[in-house]
Amino acid sequence: MTIKPLIILPDPVLRQVSKPIERVDADLQRLTDDMLETMYDAPGIGLAAIQVGVPRRMLVIDLSKEGEEKQPLVFINPEIVSSSDDRSVYEEGCLSIPDYYAEVERPAQVTVKYLDREGKEQSVVADGLLATCLQHEIDHLNGVLFIDHISRLKREMVIKKFTKASKSKAL
């Protein structure tokens, strides 16, 4: 397994819309393992393939707490098929926007259909943190970042800060 470099804001790759995965094969399994390793190393609770520069519709999640047994979840071609009218607010962060957190309001419950690691069709009804995490990572697959759900002023400040930081690293 390989820890992959994370794509960081303002990299335009993060705004790409990811392409559907046509088949589950050994290469995809390797990518899954690399993504999990990268997510655990970061450390984070979710990671979309685009965040490691792979514009494919896949994400990994593990909501287990430190010291608990790992419970990795793999979602290939995930699609939100329904969401509740009830809303919930969580403070979100993102491995591609390090050390920035903001409260984001999203549907409290979602139903997601997807293929699992073996390529079998699955469906999950998620609420709480899992619902928020799934929506956050599926947004990534559509070129949407969690900062797109906050006020324009706050979003512009974050983008400006990360653009300035990336320019100073390039010097």
Q: Return the pLDDT at 171.
A: 66
Alpha-carbon distance values, 153 to 9, 16, 107, 121, 147 (Å): 17, 23, 23, 41, 10
> Quick one: how far is CA 3 from the chain centroid?
16
Task: Please say whether the beta carbons of 102 and 154 come within 8 A.
Answer: yes
Q: Which of 66, 103, 137, 156 is catalytic?
A: 137
CA 116, 119, 125, 130: dihedral to nearest 10 degrees? 30
| pLDDT at residue 128 greater than cutoff 80 | yes
pLDDT digits (tens, 9 = 90+) for 51-76: 999 999 999 999 999 889 999 999 99
Query: Phi and psi dihedrals of 135, rounded to 5?
Result: -65, -40
Q: Catalytic site residue 105? A: no
Q: Return the pLDDT at 169.
A: 76
Q: Return the pLDDT at 66.
A: 85
Average pLDDT in the 119-130 region? 98
Average pLDDT in the 148-159 region? 96
Q: Which CATH class is domain 12-170?
A: alpha beta
pLDDT digits (tens, 9 = 90+) for 83-95: 999 999 999 999 9
Q: List CB contacts of 102: < 8 A, sequence separation 6 or more.
A: 91, 92, 146, 147, 150, 154
Please report, for the chain, the start and end positions of each structural domain, with discontinuous segments joined by +: 12-170
Q: Return the pLDDT at 1.
A: 80
pLDDT digits (tens, 9 = 90+) for 14-64: 999 999 999 999 999 999 999 999 999 999 999 999 999 999 999 999 999
Alpha-carbon distance values, 26 to 59, 87, 118 (Å): 16, 39, 10
